[in-house]
Amino acid sequence: MLDFFNIDSALSEEERAVRDSVRRFVDERVLPIIGDAYVQGRFPRELIPEMGELGVFGANLPEEYGCAGLNNVQYGLIMQELERGDSGVRSFASVQGALAMYPIYAFGSEEQKRRWLPPMARGEVIGCFGLTEPDYGSNPSGMITMAKEQGDGTWLLNGSKMWITNGSTANIAVVWAKTNGDASDRSIRGFIVPTDTAGFKAKDQKGKLSLRASDTSELSFQDVHLPADAILPTSGGLKSPLMCLTQARYGISWGALGAAIACFEEALEYSKTRVMFERPIGGYQIQQVRLADMLTEIVKGQLVSLHLGRLKDAGTFTPQQVSLAKRNNVNIATEIAREARRLLGANGILAEYSAMRHMANLESVYTYEGTHDVHSLILGQAVTGLNAFK
Ligand SMILES: Cc1cc2nc3c(=O)[nH]c(=O)nc-3n(C[C@H](O)[C@H](O)[C@H](O)COP(=O)(O)OP(=O)(O)OC[C@H]3O[C@@H](n4cnc5c(N)ncnc54)[C@H](O)[C@@H]3O)c2cc1C
């Protein structure tokens, strides 16, 4: 793989080793099947056990809970490699690790952590994260899903969630709900909801033209009875799910680069072999500008994510820095995928090549985990001190 800026020299041997093992997995197990899975609109579930063995689920969470205990750069490199395969495969791992395991780790009781995290790390228990609702996307604080405490300390959950990755695959859902009739976002708490609980339903979202190799579902909760210990005890307020999103967005900043790398490499190879007007198209200046722009943006993005990972490991990164990285890297990856598709001419629209698949996938990545616009507003507020959300 082209490493134009010798970024490998800024990685430790252990970091390169983790990256290379996931790279091999993607080359050998994901790339041969992903085009077909995408066309069929199927998440390749058969990959889950191997991903568990590789330690990609919750890889940056501690070993004492059965996780790999890796640093955040290693975690980011895993996301990069998975998304070099497909954004759907990376989304599966992001949701499992950053959005289902992380809240249990950060807000769960010791008993919840010991019960759920080891089998989730192995991929034996799948989780999803229910925050978005049909009428509350960028503004989750308006959510209407409600959990009411019953006299005996148990809970009754009612409401619905929309666009939930892994929703129909999951064994447990981490559901965010307002509590006890309090409509303020202070009352938001997280609940672990086993998906076989009576009243819980997951329905797959049909007709997706993006992230087709990923399950996306609508969840509904009708009088779902939950035991007292279903609540994540230290969750409280909207800041709890937002902390999970910060974890996931960090990984996405790396992941999007993986998609961009796949597109760049495909375009580079194609430019050297596709002959038109008796010369490889890579010999024409216009294609070289395209490739130079792609390469430059990938290198810049990698440096942003790598530095962010070091800040995260040092415990000094901010959610606003994560917004910058997610916003920039997904944006440049989307542009790179589009340019790669164009460079490939008619072949660029085939599932046999990856550019169009990545291009379509990245439209979802651009929208989820805070839309590009929402991250613009976060950055705008950070530098001006003025809130432009409302
Ligand atoms: C494939 C996929 C998987 C997903 N997985 C999950 C998941 O696992 N769990 C989960 O909880 N959610 C998930 N989501 C939901 C995702 O997080 C939301 O789609 C996202 O937050 C945007 O919400 P929305 O789609 O309702 O758009 P809206 O919030 O309705 O936004 C519509 C448009 O308005 C813009 N906009 C919104 N507010 C403002 C503002 N204040 N100023 C200017 N412009 C604004 C947006 O940028 C966008 O362009 C997923 C979405 C997709 C597509």
What digits encode the pLDDT tens for the residues 74-133?
999 999 999 999 999 999 999 999 999 999 999 999 999 999 999 999 999 999 999 999
**Token pair in block for residue 287:** 């294609």
**Mean pLDDT value across residues 20-29:** 98
Ligand 1 pocket check for 220: Cβ under 6 Å = no
Closest ligand 1 atom number to CA of residue 390: 41
Instruction: Please check whether residue 372 is in contact with residue 253, taking contact to mean a CB–CB distance below 8 angstroms.
Output: no
**Element (H or E) spanning 272, and its range?**
helix 239-273
Count of structural domains within the chain: 3
> According to the model, what pLDDT value does residue 1 have?
78
DSSP secondary structure letters along 149-161: E-TTS-EEEEEEE
Supply the residue whose CA is at minimum distance from atom 4 of ligand 1. 163
The mean-pLDDT minimum among 76-80, 135-139, 183-187, 255-259 falls in 183-187
Residue 254 lies in a domain: yes
Residues 6+ apart with CB under 8 A from 82: 22, 26, 30, 56, 89, 90, 93, 255, 258
Which of these three, 72, 94, 121, is where a domain ends? Answer: 121
Ligand 1 pocket check for 95: Cβ under 6 Å = yes
**Element (H or E) spanning 1, and its range?**
none
366/270 same-domain check: yes
Instruction: Please check whether residue 201 is in contact with residue 224, taking contact to mean a CB–CB distance below 8 angstroms.
Output: no
Closest ligand 1 atom number to CA of residue 176: 11
In this structure, the number of other CB atoms found within 10 A of the CB of residue 187 comes to 17
54/155 same-domain check: no
**Mean pLDDT value across residues 358-378:** 98
Residues 6+ apart with CB under 8 A from 65: 58, 105, 113, 114, 117, 118, 121
> According to the model, what pLDDT value does residue 113 have?
98
> According to the model, what pLDDT value does residue 303 have?
98
Supply the residue whose CA is at minimum distance from atom 26 of ligand 1. 137
213/77 same-domain check: no
**Mean pLDDT value across residues 26-41:** 98
- Domain encompassing residue 95: 7-121
Q: How far apart are CA 218 and CA 167, in angstroms?
A: 7
Supply the residue whose CA is at minimum distance from atom 41 of ligand 1. 389
- Count CA atoms within 13 Å of residue 365 on its CB side: 44
CATH code, 347: 1.20.140.10
Residue 335 lies in a domain: yes
pLDDT above 90 (res 390) = no
95/111 same-domain check: yes
373/272 same-domain check: yes
**Per-residue confidence at 272, pLDDT binned at 50, 70, 90?**
very high
Active site residue 266: no
15/103 same-domain check: yes
Q: Coil, helix or strand for 242?
A: helix
**Phi, psi for 108 (deg, rounded to 5):** -85, 165
Q: CA torsion angle for 267, 268, 272, 275 (degrees, to 10)?
A: 20
Which of these three, 84, 105, 121, is where a domain ends? Answer: 121
Residue 389 lies in a domain: no
Taking alpha carbons only, the member of 202, 204, 184 closest to residue 193 is: 202
Ligand 1 pocket check for 59: Cβ under 6 Å = no
Any idea which residue has 């490739």 for tokens? Answer: 291
Angle between helices 319-343 and 355-367 (to 10 degrees): 150
Supply the residue whose CA is at minimum distance from atom 29 of ligand 1. 138
Closest ligand 1 atom number to CA of residue 364: 53
Ligand 1 pocket check for 76: Cβ under 6 Å = no
Taking alpha carbons only, the member of 84, 51, 82, 86 closest to residue 68 is: 51
Residue 390 lies in a domain: no
Choice from 362, 364, 367, 378 to test ligand 1 binding pocket (greatest atom count within 8 A of CB): 367
pLDDT above 90 (res 230) = yes
> According to the model, what pLDDT value does residue 57 have?
98
What digits encode the pLDDT tens for the residues 285-315?
999 999 999 999 999 999 999 999 999 999 9
Instruction: Please check whether residue 185 is in contact with residue 118, taking contact to mean a CB–CB distance below 8 angstroms.
Output: no
Closest ligand 1 atom number to CA of residue 161: 11
CATH code, 159: 2.40.110.10
Rg of the Cα atoms in the chain? 21
Closest ligand 1 atom number to CA of residue 208: 1
**Mean pLDDT value across residues 204-219:** 97
Ligand 1 pocket check for 371: Cβ under 6 Å = yes
Supply the residue whose CA is at minimum distance from atom 6 of ligand 1. 164
CA of 282 to the centre of ligand 1 (A): 38
Residues 6+ apart with CB under 8 A from 64: none
213/254 same-domain check: no
Q: Is 266 exposed, middle or buried (0-12, 13-18, 19+ CB in 10 A)?
A: buried
> According to the model, what pLDDT value does residue 100 have?
98
> According to the model, what pLDDT value does residue 269 have?
98
Q: What's the first-to-final CA gap in the chain, in angstroms? A: 45
Ligand 1 pocket check for 43: Cβ under 6 Å = no
**Per-residue confidence at 2, pLDDT binned at 50, 70, 90?**
confident
**Per-residue confidence at 356, pLDDT binned at 50, 70, 90?**
very high
291/209 same-domain check: no
Residue 2 lies in a domain: no
Ligand 1 pocket check for 87: Cβ under 6 Å = no
Ligand 1 pocket check for 211: Cβ under 6 Å = yes
Ligand 1 pocket check for 381: Cβ under 6 Å = no
**Mean pLDDT value across residues 212-216:** 98
The percentage of residues in the chain with a pLDDT greater than 90, rounded to a whole number, is 98
Which of these three, 198, 230, 262, is where a domain ends? Answer: 230
Angle, CA 212 vertex, CA 206 and CA 218 arms, to 5° = 40
What digits encode the pLDDT tens for the residues 321-342?
999 999 999 999 999 999 999 9
Query: In the predicted model, what is the mean pLDDT of the chain?
Result: 98
167/80 same-domain check: no
What digits encode the pLDDT tens for the residues 55-81?
999 999 999 999 999 999 999 999 999
Supply the residue whose CA is at minimum distance from atom 53 of ligand 1. 364
Instruction: Please check whether residue 230 is in contact with residue 155, taking contact to mean a CB–CB distance below 8 angstroms.
Output: yes
- Count CA atoms within 13 Å of residue 188 on its CB side: 21
255/369 same-domain check: yes
In this structure, the number of other CB atoms found within 10 A of the CB of residue 161 comes to 26
pLDDT above 90 (res 344) = yes
DSSP secondary structure letters along 353-377: SSHHHHHHHHHHHHHSSS-HHHHHH
